[in-house]
Amino acid sequence: MQVERYERYWMWAATGMLVLFTGAIVATALAGSVHPPSHVETVDPETLTVTGEFVSPGVMTAPDGRITVVMRAEFYVFRPTVVRIPAGRPVRFRITSPDVLHGFQIVGTNVNLTVAPGYVSEVTTTFDTPGEYLVVCNEYCGLAHHLMQGTVIVEAAP
Ligand SMILES: [Cu+2]
């Protein structure tokens, strides 16, 4: 089969771009520690404010020292609004929504979850740098979406 010279050049150029762009996606995912979604756990959004772990959200420390932050993202607030956790220890965030789709992004970190009603979003992270971190909702959820924010205060270990 005879392929024209310029057609061959364009085929190689297209193949090169495919390799380049796929490589860019893989490289940025590795550099930014981006993980594909892997945690599927369901919860009834209609009863989660009445029964279960999401009734009283907050920071829980298990007898073995593991820290879990249970949160609700709902019309236009994160509960609890302010979370205090220690630096240098793994912290597991478990968060869900009783109403619509919300986002949970801790600015300046790689924590960025989609919070969908009916599902529990979970991430475990360790804060090495003490300080105050802004939490924002990054999924448009309604008229006061821009007011929906919270704070994670990371305290230095004593
Ligand atoms: Cu929002």
Q: In the chain, pLDDT over 70 holds for what percent of residues?
A: 98
Å from CA of 12 to ligand 1 middle = 44
Å from CA of 120 to ligand 1 middle = 17
With contact defined as beta carbons under 8 Å apart, do 62 and 96 qualify? Answer: no
- Specify the pTM: 0.78
Å from CA of 139 to ligand 1 middle = 5
Instruction: State which residues have CB under 5 angstroms from ligand 1, the bound ion.
Output: 137, 141, 145, 148
With contact defined as beta carbons under 8 Å apart, do 94 and 71 qualify? Answer: yes
What confidence tens digit (pLDDT) does each residue in 22-72 have? 999 999 989 988 777 677 899 999 999 999 999 999 999 999 989 999 999
